[in-house]
Amino acid sequence: MGSDSLPSTLTSTKPTPIPTNELDEEHDHDDSPSTAALLSFNTDSSSSSEPLSTSNNKPLFIVLILVTCISLSVASAFAYLFFSSRSSPSPSPTPLPSVSHARPLTKLNRPKVILISSDGFRFGYQFKTPTPNIARLIANGTEAETGLIPVFPSLTFPNHYSIATGLYPAYHGIVNNHFLDPHSGDAFYMGAIDPKWWLGEPLWETVVKNGLNAATYFWPGTQGHKVGADDPQITEAVSRIDRMIGRLIFDVVAKMNQGLSSGKVENGRYLKVYLKEDLPSRLHYSASDRIPPIIGLLEEGFKVKQKRSKNKECGGSHGYDNEFFSMRSIFIGHGPQFARGRKIPSFENVQIYNLVTFILNIKGAPNNGSASFAKDVLLSAA
Domain count, the chain: 2
Gyration radius from the chain CA atoms: 41
Mean pLDDT, range 231-250, rounded to an integer: 37
Question: For 122, which DSSP code?
Answer: -
Max mean pLDDT range (38-52, 298-312, 368-382):
368-382
Percent of the chain clearing pLDDT 90 (strictly above) = 37
d(Cα 52, Cα 313) in Å, to the nearest integer? 100
Q: Of 130-139, 220-229, 264-273, 367-376, where does mean pLDDT reach its minimum?
A: 220-229
Per-residue confidence band for 66, with pLDDT thresholds at 50, 70 and 90: low
Q: What is the mean pLDDT of residues 73-81?
A: 59
* 303 pLDDT more than 90: no
Distance CA 124, CA 118 (A): 14
Angle between helices 156-165 and 352-360 (to 10 degrees): 30
For residue 109, what are the CA distances in angstroms to 84, 360, 381?
46, 11, 15
Indicate if 156 and 67 belong to the same structural domain.
no
Starting at the earlier edge strand, list the strands of the sheet with 342-344: 332-334, 141-144, 342-344
CATH number at residue 241: 3.40.720.10
Q: Region 235-250: what's the mean pLDDT?
A: 37
Domain identity same for 174 and 244: yes
Looking at the fold, whether 72 and 130 belong to one and the same domain comes out as no
Q: Looking at the predicted structure, is the pLDDT value of residue 322 above 90?
A: yes
240 and 144 share a domain?
Answer: yes
Do 129 and 224 sit in the same domain of this protein?
Answer: yes
Least confident of 19-28, 67-76, 229-238, 353-362: 229-238
Is residue 336 located within the same domain as residue 198? yes
Asked which of 62-66, 102-106, 188-192, 250-254 is least confident by mean pLDDT, the reply is 102-106
Instruction: Read off φ and ψ for residue 333, nearest 5 degrees.
Output: -110, 125
More confident residue, 117 or 246: 117
Question: Looking at residue 167, what is its pLDDT?
Answer: 97
**pLDDT at residue 313 tops 50:** yes
* pTM of the shown model: 0.55
Q: Are residues 156 and 76 in the same domain?
A: no
pLDDT at 36 over 90: no
CA distance 260 to 346: 34
- Tell me: do 163 and 234 sit in the same domain: yes
285 against 305, higher pLDDT? 285
- The answer to the question of residue 269 being in a domain is no
DSSP string, 277-343: GGS-GGG---S-TTS-SEEEEEPTT----SS------------S-TTSGGG-B--EEESTTS-TTEE
Domain containing 11 equals 1-17+61-81
Q: Does any domain span residue 337?
A: yes
* Residue at 301 is within a domain: no
